[in-house]
Amino acid sequence: MAKILLAEDDVTMVSLLKTLLKMEGFEVLALNTGVDVPAEVGHKKPDVLLLDVHFGNQNGVEIVQAIRKNNDLSNLHVVMTSGSSMQEECMRAGANAFLLKPFSPDDLIRLVKR
């Protein structure tokens, strides 16, 4: 079973994503805002990181850049999300995919199953 780590600060969104992804057979863990995301990724070893561009007071672009500098995390699939059109910036920073909020459950499932 693939493990997905959620770095999303909207509590309602976390609840919806957990339900949706668990129904699809994924193991789902959610991070609290304020944690060191790259360290948590290294510790929890997810297959996919679903990362909000604005995770609490942290910058998702900087988070993905830090993750990409760590060779141990090079195989991590990072899907970034935002209500702003930041696809180019996220992809340049090292994301594997970008979803503009609000996104459809089908689009999310398709990306995390890749």
Q: What is the number of domains present in the chain?
A: 1
- The C-alpha atoms of residue 82 and residue 51 are separated, in whole angstroms, by 9
What's the pLDDT at 22?
A: 97
Positions of the chain with pLDDT under 50: none
Q: What is the extent of the structural domain holding 96?
A: 3-113
Cβ neighbours of 100 (radius 10 Å): 13
What's the pLDDT at 1?
A: 84
What's the pLDDT at 75?
A: 87
Is residue 5 within 8 A of residue 40, CB to CB? The reply is: yes
- The C-alpha atoms of residue 97 and residue 79 are separated, in whole angstroms, by 5
Q: What pTM was estimated for this model as a whole? A: 0.95
What's the pLDDT at 113?
A: 86
CA diameter of the chain: 33
CATH number at residue 104: 3.40.50.2300
What's the pLDDT at 114?
A: 77
What's the pLDDT at 103?
A: 92
